[in-house]
Every structure is written in C-alpha cells, then in structure tokens.
Amino acid sequence: MDNYVLSSSFYCVVYNGQCIKANLPEGVDFENHTICFQNQKPVEIQFVYLLDQNESMDINIVIKEHVEVQMIETKIFENHSHFQKKIYVQESAMLHIFSENDSSNEEDIYVKEEVFLQNDALCQCGYAELSDGCYDGKYHYYLQGEGAQAKVRMAVLSKKKESKHYEVFIQHCCPLTYGQMDNYGVVKDEGKLIIDGVGSITKGQHGSASHQTNKIMVFDEKCVAQANPYLYIDEYDVKASHAAAVGKMDEEHLYYLQSRGLTKKQAMHLITYGYLKPVIAVIDNKMIKERFETALSKVGA
C-alpha cells in the first residue's frame, strides 16, 4: 500500500480512514474524517486515499467561503472496498480537482462522491479513470446556490475483462446555475463500460444551463459500451444540450494521419491520446501530466 507517488509539496495520505502521513499548509486541518480548508492564499494539495480489501471510508471536505484550492487525488483501492466522500464548497469558493484512479483490483469497488455547491461556488473536476479492474462510481453534484457551477470531465478506459459503470449526476437546485459534463470513454478487448450522464433542473430554477457530452470509442468486437444521456427539465427558461455516441475510431482521421507517414498503431495512439487528454486541462501540474501520459500507454493502441 505504498505504491503511490507524491506530486505536490503539500499532501495527506489517508489509509482506511486514518491519516498516516501529512504535510498540510497553513489554514488546512484534518480532524474526525473532515478536512477543512480556510487558507488565505490558493493552495495545491494532494490527497492519497488507500483502502484495503473489504474496508470502507468516509471523508468530508469543507472549502470555506472565498477559498481557492487545487486538489490532486490519488485513489488506490482493493477488492470490495467502499469509498464515500462529501465535499462542501461554500460561497464563492473555487475548487479544481484532478482525480486519478490507480487501483489494480479484480473485483468490484464502490465509490460515491457528492459535491454540494453554494452561491457562486465553482467546482471543476477531471477524473482520470484508467484503473485496472472493475469499478462502480457515482459522482453527484448539487448546485445549491445561485451562480454555482460544476464542470466535470471524465476519461475512462475499460479493457481486458473489466466492467465499469459511472453515473455522473448534476442537480440544479437553484436558479442561474451551470452544469457541464464531458465524459469520454475507450473500451477494448472484452471490456464493458456504461456511462450514465444525468442533468436535472427542477421547476423554478430559471436561467440555468445543463450541458453534457458522452462519447465512447470502441476498439474490439467483444466490447460492451453504453452512453446514456438523461436530461430531466421542469422549467422553461433554461439552456440544455446533450450528445451521446458510441462508435469506432473515425476511419478518415486514421487515413489522414497515416497519409503523413504515421503507422496505424501510432495514428491510433495519437487519436486516443487526443481523445482522453483534455481531462488533465483542469490542473496545471507537470508531474501529473507526465504521469497521466504514462498511464495512457495502457490504452496500448
């Protein structure tokens, strides 16, 4: 359980719910499963979450008013583990998360994350889901204050006999809220991937916008892939859009790259890389970018 890499000068390693190693910046405290951010200046910090087989952990994170945080998350979970996380982003706070899943499990892992955003709070999250193993992830965002914004980007790879299911849900509970998700997946071998994108605007939440794109690229015949967009809207004065597509790599794209001398393998790698790469744009950390690029070699296209 020590196969993680620290990529930030501030960090906190949480093992089965206990903090085992930490270097926290001023204004950041960890007590009773709750991490509270009251830092004056913007900080970058890495959280490493480690879970043994059959273990579970609950974590709460509070980002106080007007606080800015860049967060790198590394998740390494074992079979049948349960991870639950709640994040409270208070008024006008800004939270950027890059979340990498480095688990290499064989059986299911269950993850539920809920993010609650107050007035004018922003949460932008990039999930790099390139883990080896099965996974069931629920990522829910609740826009509970006017002007709250949630932007989610996900890059998933399901390969070999892995079965992965993701539910990204954005609930607009207030007027003038903004939700956007872009979920991109690649499935190869006998992998299975289901992505449910859900946007919900209840009555009275005028001036809100809910956008989503779900795309899955399929490499092999035995793959199973589903991209399901759901939009529940009970208000007239809103903007909403959705797109969902499951398909093979574009033949014309391949031809174009090959006509410049790239082999089919190189061309496929470049296209896949370009397809999943935007997820790292949420955070500006060179080490993370390099690690993500290395992890992408798992695509092996």
Q: Which of 257, 288, 299, 301 binds another protein (CB under 8 A)?
A: 257
Q: Does 31 bind another protein (CB under 8 A)?
A: no
Q: Which of 255, 287, 290, 293 binds another protein (CB under 8 A)?
A: 255
Query: Which span (6-14, 15-23, 48-56, 265-273) binds another protein, by CB under 8 A?
Result: 265-273
- Alpha-carbon gap, residue 58 to 85, rounded angstroms: 6
Residue 286's Cβ-count burial label (10 Å; 0-12, 13-18, 19+) is: exposed
Q: Does 273 bind another protein (CB under 8 A)?
A: yes
Q: Which of 3, 32, 221, 259 binds another protein (CB under 8 A)?
A: 259
Q: Tell me the site size for another protein, rule CB under 8 A.
A: 24
Minimum CB separation from another protein for residue 102, in Å?
22
Q: Does 260 bind another protein (CB under 8 A)?
A: yes
Q: Does 23 bind another protein (CB under 8 A)?
A: no
Minimum CB separation from another protein for residue 116, in Å?
32
Query: Which span (38-46, 91-99, 172-180, 257-265) binds another protein, by CB under 8 A?
Result: 257-265
Minimum CB separation from another protein for residue 246, in Å?
17
Q: Does 275 bind another protein (CB under 8 A)?
A: yes
Q: Does 262 bind another protein (CB under 8 A)?
A: yes
Minimum CB separation from another protein for residue 86, in Å?
32
Q: Does 192 bind another protein (CB under 8 A)?
A: no
In this structure, are strands 28-31 and 34-37 parallel, antiparallel, or unpaired? antiparallel
In this structure, are strands 18-23 and 11-15 parallel, antiparallel, or unpaired? antiparallel
Q: Does 286 bind another protein (CB under 8 A)?
A: no
Contacts of 9 (CB under 8 A, 6+ apart): 23, 44
Answer for the pair 70, 37: CB distance below 8 angstroms, yes or no. no
Pick 82 or 253: Cβ nearer another protein:
253
Query: Which span (47-55, 131-139, 227-235, 261-269) binds another protein, by CB under 8 A?
Result: 261-269
Residue carrying the six token digits 């014309």: 252
Number of residues that make up the chain: 301
Q: Does 294 bind another protein (CB under 8 A)?
A: no
Q: Does 264 bind another protein (CB under 8 A)?
A: yes
Site string for another protein, 233-252 (x = CB under 8 A): -----------------xxx
Query: Which span (102-110, 136-144, 186-194, 263-271) binds another protein, by CB under 8 A?
Result: 263-271
What does the binding site for another protein look like in residue numbers (CB under 8 A)?
250-253, 255-264, 266-267, 270-271, 273-278
